[in-house]
C-alpha cells in the first residue's frame, strides 16, 4: 500500500495568557521566522484575540484556533461560545478534551464527543486531547484509559469527516510538571493510538491522522519527540508563549529526521 503523507503540526496553546496587544506583538516577532516553514504552525489563542490574530495571520503560514467551544449551535448558555462563532471570528481549528477542561471543568467523554461532532459539522478542525493521570499510569491502565477516551470521544463520527481529525496525547502527569514522558514512551503510546484509530475507522484514516505529543515540551526535548515515526508534531504550552522558544521548536520540526520528513502542508 502506498505510504500516506501526514501533515507535521506544531501547535501552541496559550491558555489564559496574553492580551490582544501582546498577541499581535508575538505574531509580529514570529512571522519572519515561519515565512518558509515546511510544517504547519498552529496557535490556540484566547477567544478575545482570535479575530485580530486570524486577520493578521491570513498572509502568514500560521493557523489560528480556539482553545474550547460549546457543543450547542446557540442558546441561553451565558459565557459559552459556539462553534459557528469561533469559525466566524476566523478560527480554523479548536482544541477539545484538554485535561484542564476534563479535570477543572468536569467535561466528560460524552460532552467532548458532542463537541467533536459539532466542530466537524462547522468546518473546524478538532484537535482531540487524550491522556492518563499519574495514578492510572501507576495502575498499568494507560492503554485502557486512552482507548476508552478515543472510542467514546469519536463515537459516531463520520469516517470522511474523521480525516480532518488531529489527536494530541498529553499525559496529565506531564502537563506543566516539567516531567515530560520519554520519547520512547510517547512513541509507544502513539503507535497504540494509531492502532486504535484503525480499529475505530480503518487503516487509511489512522495512517493519515497527525498524532501530536504534549506535556512539558521544551525547545531542548522536542527534537527527540519529533524524530519518532508516529509523532507528527507537538502541542506546546508555556514554551509557545515566547517567540524565541516557539520558533526554535518550529525549526527543529523542519529539520527533524522522522520517517515523514517530506510532509505536505494542510489540505
- Choosing from 98, 100, 125, 187, which is the catalytic residue? 98
C-alpha dihedral sign at 51, 36, 31, 43: positive
Catalytic residue of the set 100, 107, 132, 170: 170
242 noted as active-site residue: no
What DSSP state is assigned to residue 232?
A: -
C-alpha count within 13 angstroms, C-beta hemisphere, residue 241? 9
Alpha-helix runs per DSSP H in the chain: 20-30, 50-57, 83-89, 99-103, 109-121, 134-138, 142-153, 159-162, 183-200, 203-208, 222-226, 243-255
**What distance in Å separates the CA atoms of residue 243 and residue 27, rounded to the nearest whole number?**
8
Determine contact, residues 246/240, Cβ cutoff 8 Å: yes
Q: Residues 24, 29, 34, 36: is their CA dihedral positive or negative?
A: positive
| Residues known to be catalytic | 98, 170
Amino acid at each position: 500500500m502506498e505510504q500516506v503523507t501526514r501533515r507535521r503540526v506544531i501547535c501552541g496553546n496559550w491558555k489564559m495568557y496574553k492580551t490582544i496587544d501582546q498577541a499581535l506583538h508575538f505574531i509580529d516577532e514570529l512571522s519572519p521566522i515561519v515565512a518558509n516553514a515546511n510544517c504547519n504552525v498552529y496557535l490556540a489563542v484566547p477567544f478575545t484575540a482570535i479575530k485580530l490574530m486570524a486577520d493578521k495571520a491570513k498572509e502568514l503560514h500560521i493557523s489560528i484556533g480556539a482553545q474550547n467551544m460549546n457543543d450547542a449551535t446557540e442558546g441561553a448558555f451565558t459565557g459559552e461560545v459556539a462553534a459557528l462563532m469561533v469559525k466566524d471570528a476566523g478560527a480554523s481549528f479548536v482544541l477539545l478534551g484538554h485535561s484542564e477542561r476534563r479535570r477543572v471543568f468536569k467535561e466528560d467523554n460524552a460532552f467532548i464527543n458532542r463537541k467533536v461532532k459539532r466542530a466537524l459539522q462547522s468546518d473546524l478542525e478538532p484537535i482531540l486531547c487524550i491522556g492518563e493521570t499519574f495514578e492510572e499510569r501507576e495502575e498499568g491502565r494507560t492503554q485502557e484509559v486512552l482507548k476508552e477516551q478515543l472510542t467514546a470521544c469519536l463515537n459516531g463520527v463520520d469516517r470522511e469527516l474523521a480525516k480532518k481529525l488531529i489527536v494530541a496525547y498529553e499525559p496529565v502527569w506531564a502537563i506543566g510538571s516539567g516531567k515530560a514522558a520519554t520519547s520512547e514512551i510517547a512513541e509507544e503510546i502513539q503507535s497504540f493510538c494509531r492502532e486504535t484509530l484503525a480499529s475505530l475507522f480503518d487503516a487509511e484514516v489512522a495512517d493519515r491522522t497527525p498524532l501530536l505529543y504534549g506535556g512539558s515540551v521544551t525547545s531542548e526535548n522536542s527534537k527527540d519527540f519529533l524524530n519518532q515515526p508516529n509523532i507528527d508534531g507537538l502541542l506546546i504550552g508555556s514554551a509557545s508563549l515566547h517567540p524565541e522558544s516557539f520558533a526554535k521548536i518550529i525549526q527543529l520540526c523542519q529539520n527533524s529526521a522522522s520517517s515523514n520528513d517530506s510532509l505536505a502542508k494542510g489540505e
